[in-house]
Amino acid sequence: MTITALTPVSRSELDGVHLEFRSVLRAFVRDQVLPIVDESEKSKSFPKQLWSKLAGLGVLGIGLPEHAGGTGEADSVAMMIFAEELSKASGGIAITPIASSYLGGPYLAKFGTPSQQKTYLEPMIAGKMVAAIAITEPGAGSDVAGISSVARKVDGGYLINGSKIFITNGGIADWLIVAAKTDPAERHKGISQFIVLPSDAGFGVGRPLEKLGWHSSDTRELRFDDCFVPDDRLVGEVGRGFYQIASAFQTERLVLCGMALGHAQVCLDLSLEYAKQRMAFGHTIGKFQAIRHQLAQMAIDLKTSRLLALDAAQKLDANAHDSLSVVSMAKYHCCRVANTIADHAMQVFGGMGYLEETRIALHFRDARILRIGGGTDEIMLEVVAKQMGL
């Protein structure tokens, strides 16, 4: 019997290009981001000066068209690295450019007209515009097909009525991709997407929402009251909005995996350092089995998360047959592990972990939303179960 060697879909370690990219990002975060985290958290706003710096670094166009200033080919591994390294400083700071470039950008890259790409995508990649995605509503989160916002066809365009909630970048966006029903009688097949501008009549932005975490990001409720959008701002095809949204979910889930890895890695690193220094009963607490075993388990869980996330990213870019299932597994596993490691870190630090100065509290807060955004734990398990034929 002859055994034919198979070319692996993925590798278990970063290659030289991605290692170099990570090194550049780490230096950037150390020099440009970490020094302003405290002020950003207190002011509950994204530091605007970072936009031009991120654009100069070339990270606002990963996977977006070269003609618009992007990198061209999809690179989910690079996106995850970006998400991880920025999240090590602050989840709120990280999610702001992520929501703009990696969640908003792909809609225009895949479905936008040349004019839309020139007008909106190109300036976003250059750091001159900020994007937002407006899908979630008070009565429709995971059930995207259940949105109730309506876009009624009129002469020359559409009138949008409805509301959105939990919209990241909602108050700072220069353009928004808004999902609404062009056929209210339909569910999946009745949704379309539109580019809405803050200057559009009938568009309203609510007050910043007070959140448990992600303090450095802008999150709003949006209102649409006969908001007129011209025909040339329809994104893709009428009635194809749900499928366009579904195509973008995989990338969103992978960057959330990257954020989870960032929070988990910082919590493990800080806990390990603290366990080697903190004295109790005549020993450093790392000498106690209860603590050392906890740290060992944290390291094991983080390693498995990394391997699964890297495998998922490479399979998505390779369009592997099982990419949907593996991405869902990674999103579920990584985000749960991040929360578990943050909780263990809080326990290792004790009372000190509850103080803002140790940064454990920040990562503890910021990690929690990852199990909800981009698809809840329950939705991820449902996707995996369906892919198993259940």
Residues 79, 145: Cα–Cα separation, whole Å: 28
Q: Read off φ and ψ for residue 268, nearest 5 degrees.
A: -65, -45
* 176 and 224 Cβ atoms separated by less than 8 Å: no
* 270 and 345 Cβ atoms separated by less than 8 Å: yes
Residues 17, 9: Cα–Cα separation, whole Å: 18
Q: Read off φ and ψ for residue 2, nearest 5 degrees.
A: -100, 130
Active site residue 252: yes
**Catalytic, out of 122, 186, 252, 382:** 252
Question: Cα–chain-centroid distance for residue 84?
Answer: 10
Residue type, 319: N
Consecutive H or E run containing 290:
helix 289-317
**Residue 226 φ/ψ region, left for φ over 0, alpha for ψ in the -120 to 50 degree band, beta for the rest:** left
* 46 and 92 Cβ atoms separated by less than 8 Å: yes
**CA-to-CA separations, 72 to 8, 60, 101, 123, 170, in angstroms, rounded:** 24, 12, 13, 16, 27
User: Active-site positions?
Assistant: 252
